[in-house]
Structure 1
Amino acid sequence: MKIFISGSNGMVGRNLLENEDITKHDILKPPSSELNLLNFNDIKIYLKKTKPDMIIHCAGKVGGIQANMKDMYKFFTENALMGINLVKAAKEHGIKKFLNLSSSCTYPRNYKNPLKEEYILQAELEPTNEGYALAKLSILKMCEYISREYPGYQYKTFIPCNLYGRWDKFDEANSHMIPAVIKKIYNAVVSKLPEIEIWGDGTARREFMYASDLASCVAKAIENFEDVPSVMNVGLGFDYSINEYYETIKKILEYKGSFIYNTSMPVGMKQKLLNIDLQSKWGWKPQVSLEQGIERTYQFFLGYVNDKV
């Protein structure tokens, strides 16, 4: 098949492009300099010229709690425009297969865990990433409407748990938790700092999956798209506390210092664990353990640091 992958330069996109079961297909991967997803007409022209059989949408403006809280307007508008433009253009050009990669931020805050797909829109969102979540919800619902109202169109959504891995962003202010903590502890080792601050009390729980596992799930979906549920969680089915993530990274980086807690800082939802019953029934599960994933991510980070020197 000819498959258009949006966001091919991001962490998820790059992991997709490292999966041989995906790259055996004819892959279209235009950079943002070639295709501006914020411009609907540019997308229409591109799809008319290239005629893909399938679209995998993983482009987006992403960041951690600090970045989301600081720039809610752009997190909403840019993510909503990119997704809505792409879905609408795909529908108008008769592209029958569309896989939308969403986010677990679309689930209600502090809701019943594990989070089932039917819990979408059942309660208020987490305020620290509300703009991003609303944008992702809009795209998810568009895909549902098209699949329901237009026979032959299969527009489906994966809701992955939190991700980390190769090609992640290692920036304490703008990245997600695991890469930010890797950099924080690495800097503490290099600078021989005796203490590292953790936001909150460390008891909040998160489900982080290595990004190459998501790529393997997408590869299976490409080959079995008719069997993919309309909306499906993709995750581990279990989680760890923030303290456990810090301790695992501390061990791998051989940091000898201690942790202190800043309970005045925001931590987001206390728990965000996905229910993976649909995923299990569909017949897929991740393969990379937390220790393996963090070790591989750390090795990638070391290369990233050396490139910056």
Structure 2
Amino acid sequence: MERNSKIYVAGHRGLVGSAIVRNLKEKGCSNIIGRTHEELDLKDQKSVRNFFREEKPEYVFLAAAKVGGINANNIYPADFIYENLEIQNNVIKAAFDYKVKKLLFLGSSCIYPKMCPQPIKEKYLLSGYLEATNEAYALAKISGLKMCQFFKRQYGADFISCMPTNLYGPKDNFDLNSSHVMPALIRKFHEAKVNNKEFVEVWGTGTPLREFLHVDDMADGCVFLMGNYDGEEHVNIGTGKEITIRELAETIKEIVGFTGELKFNKDKPDGTPRKLLDVSKLKELGWTYKVQLKDGIKSTYHWFKENYL
């Protein structure tokens, strides 16, 4: 991938896609294209094929997806499986038919089995039952990952996949009805501080362990893989470090400056009890993360106050 290569970032305005665009620009790439949902509906096969035929991108980062937290996944499973299958099927097939040189598909660590051995190695995919609260999303993303594998196996297409851990950072979704745990807690603690609330409710018991990767690190890892990996198996992207939800909540509480109490609502679901990626494969390839969690939360909270309120 050269600096003047034509690069299409699908989902360029989202959390993941915008970080990839930032990283590419920092590395001197100047021929980056993107389309808003209004300009190109990736669920529309004809429109997607027309786009690829006319624009002829050389490299594709497939970061577009319908995403959400536990609540959204529980309420809208049909939407999550159908829309994600539409998006990735259309883009991957068009990329193949219109001779894209290389494509990177982004999965998500939540598509590993619920009770995976820890830390989670790439080979554990499809080795057990999925987490029920995000089964629909997981099945769609597994299909996309496998689609890339099979196009590589059958046709020799240079389509690769990566598996990021839990992401956070600028342009995250802070809507309490559809967000993930990190942005949800940032918003809850901020609003509790502003409104002088006595406590903040946190879903679940606080005991699940989670790994968090700043989205700028994720983007750097993706661009690294685009230039340094062509294997059939997907690659985990993470930090290899974990923290309990309670510890996360306490850290965010401190950064935001909320002085009230924490209350854990044990009637709400915890999700997967532990989810830590084995990132040794990526380390062996020569990449590791840079942003420490506390620093990343501070910068994300600053972005939230400057851009979301």
TM range (shorter): over 0.9
**Kept after mapping to 2: 8 A contact 1:21/1:219:** no
Determine whether 1:66 maps to 2:93. Answer: no
Deviations 1:168-197 (A, max 9, x none): 111111111111100000011011111111
**Kept after mapping to 1: 8 A contact 2:149/2:232:** no
Q: Which amino acid aligns with 1:108?
A: P
Q: Where does residue 276 of structure 2 map in the other structure?
A: 273
Which consecutive segments of 4 or more residues in structure 1 shift more than 2 A?
20-23, 221-226
Moved more, 157-166 or 167-176: 167-176
Displacement, 1:213? Answer: 0.5
Q: Secondary structure at the match of 2:268?
A: coil
Q: Where does residue 292 of structure 1 map in the other structure?
A: 295
Displacement, 1:219? Answer: 2.3
Question: How does 1:85-104 map onto structure 2 within 5 Å?
Answer: 85-104=90-109
Displacement, 1:229? Answer: 6.2
Match of 1:193 among 171, 174, 197: 197
Q: Which amino acid aligns with 2:213?
A: M
Return closer, same or farther for 1:155/1:132 CA change in 2, 3 Å cut-off.
Answer: same
Displacement, 1:96? Answer: 3.0
Q: Which amino acid aligns with 1:6?
A: A
Q: Secondary structure at the match of 2:262?
A: strand
Deviations 1:187-213 (A, max 9, x none): 110111111112221010111111010
Give the TM-score normalised by structure 1: 0.95
Moved more, 255-264 or 131-140: 255-264
Displacement, 1:222? Answer: 3.1
Deviations 1:76-99 (A, max 9, x none): 100111001111111111223110
Q: Which amino acid aligns with 2:18?
A: R
Q: Where does residue 130 of structure 2 map in the other structure?
A: 125
Q: Secondary structure at the match of 2:267?
A: coil
Give the TM-score normalised by structure 2: 0.95
User: Across the two proteins, how many residue pairs are aligned to each other?
Assistant: 304
Q: Which amino acid aligns with 2:243?
A: Y
Question: How does 1:1-309 map onto structure 2 within 5 Å?
Answer: 1-19=5-23, 20-21=25-26, 24-151=29-156, 153-226=157-230, 230-306=233-309
CA–CA distance in structure 1, aligned partners of residues 185 and 232 of structure 2: 34
CA–CA distance in structure 2, aligned partners of residues 125 and 26 of structure 1: 39
**Kept after mapping to 2: 8 A contact 1:17/1:23:** no
Q: Secondary structure at the match of 1:124?
A: coil
CA–CA distance in structure 1, aligned partners of residues 84 and 235 of structure 2: 20
Q: Which amino acid aligns with 2:263?
A: I
Q: Gapped runs of 5+ residues in structure 2?
A: none
Identity %: 37
Return closer, same or farther for 1:4/1:22 CA change in 2, 3 Å cut-off.
Answer: farther
Displacement, 1:25? Answer: 4.0
Return closer, same or farther for 1:300/1:13 CA change in 2, 3 Å cut-off.
Answer: same
